Amino acid sequence: MYAYKEQDKLFQSLCCEVSLSYIAALVFLSLFFSHPLYLLALFFALNLVILSAGIVRQWLTYLKFSLTLIFLIILVNALFVRAGATVLLYGVSVPLIGNIRITLEALCYGAGMGLRLLVMLGSFCLLTYAVHPDLILKTLGGGWSKIMLALGISLRLFPLITDDFVRITEAQRCRGVDFKVRNLRQRLEKYVPVLHTVLLSSLERSFQLAESLHSRGYGTTKRTNCREVLWRPRDYLVIVTVLLGSAYGMALVLTGRNGYGYYPKLQPFKEQEIIIAVCLALFFCFPALLDWGWEKWRFLRSKI
């Protein structure tokens, strides 16, 4: 569950350059946009692509942690930012904070920033579970092989450690170790041998990796590679929509229509902004729509 797995999905069959371009476009546009409708459009499109890529369970794991963080962002923003005209709560005194003044605008601003964080976390979830880490290393390697090696190892670190932890915990359960005891101290004592074994396994894996690199002469001479990239019609279709969506988003940024007025009062949504958000969603939903056709019609699969 916590590592990349091969699946018969369209997004995984795309060229690595195309997949990375799609993810990079989502991340950069989410950084430039502050309008909640545009962020919501990107988030909606991203969720459809995650659904089509078959990594919903992994995304739900991300959401469990990210929603707690977003709640804290909204809470802190509401408590410490006292701007805004629509007051929801006023007069309650809290130590170290003073009189509380919670406004609707502060809550909405925190929710908007949380939505931006969700888009970025979803993009990295898509990168981790729908793009092969070895392909990332090969694609971005070039003259930055050492940096890409460190990045590839970092991307694999958490999934490998998590798999080791799950495997060792299951082995301990088979031996009669009960990890569900109510006493917190006893439970921690039972997890100490597991963590010790995980650490030893990680060190052993690092030694094996170092020996493998040394035996292949890594770093002793200039790196050479031979890689033939096959671009298929689906790659061209997706990269065109990504470029069009990115150009459309940057046009909004350059014309100053990417912002939104939270203070002093929430800016009402205009019909034109809703149309822009729908267009953005359509651009970045295209891989999911193409995957739907890929699954439904064999004729389309054979052509793209």
Span 34-63, pLDDT tens digits: 999 999 999 999 999 999 988 888 888 888
User: Would 293 be classed as within a structural domain?
Assistant: yes
User: Would 241 be classed as within a structural domain?
Assistant: yes
- Per-residue pLDDT band at 96 (split at 50, 70, 90): low
User: Would 54 be classed as within a structural domain?
Assistant: yes
Give per-residue pLDDT as tens, 155-211.
Answer: 677 777 777 888 888 888 888 877 777 777 877 888 888 888 888 888 888 888 888
**What distances in angstroms separate CA 264 from CA 14, 102, 106, one per listed residue?**
46, 13, 10
Residue 71 near residue 107 (C-beta atoms within 8 A): no
> Given this model, what pLDDT does residue 33 score?
93
* Phi, psi dihedrals of residue 14, rounded to the nearest 5°: -70, 155
Range of the domain at 106: 10-303
User: Would 121 be classed as within a structural domain?
Assistant: yes
Question: Is pLDDT above 80 for 255?
Answer: yes
> Given this model, what pLDDT does residue 251 score?
93
- Overall number of domains in the chain: 1
User: Would 1 be classed as within a structural domain?
Assistant: no
User: Would 245 be classed as within a structural domain?
Assistant: yes
User: Would 184 be classed as within a structural domain?
Assistant: yes
User: Would 4 be classed as within a structural domain?
Assistant: no
Give per-residue pLDDT as tens, 101-140.
Answer: 888 888 899 999 999 999 999 998 898 888 887 777 777 6
69-287-111 Cα angle (round to 5): 25
45: Cβ contacts below 8 Å, ≥ 6 apart: 26, 280, 281, 283, 284, 285, 288
Question: Is pLDDT above 90 for 212?
Answer: no
> Given this model, what pLDDT does residue 21 score?
92
Kindly provide the residue ranges of all beta strands, DSSP E only, lying in the chain, ordered along the sequence: 87-94, 98-103
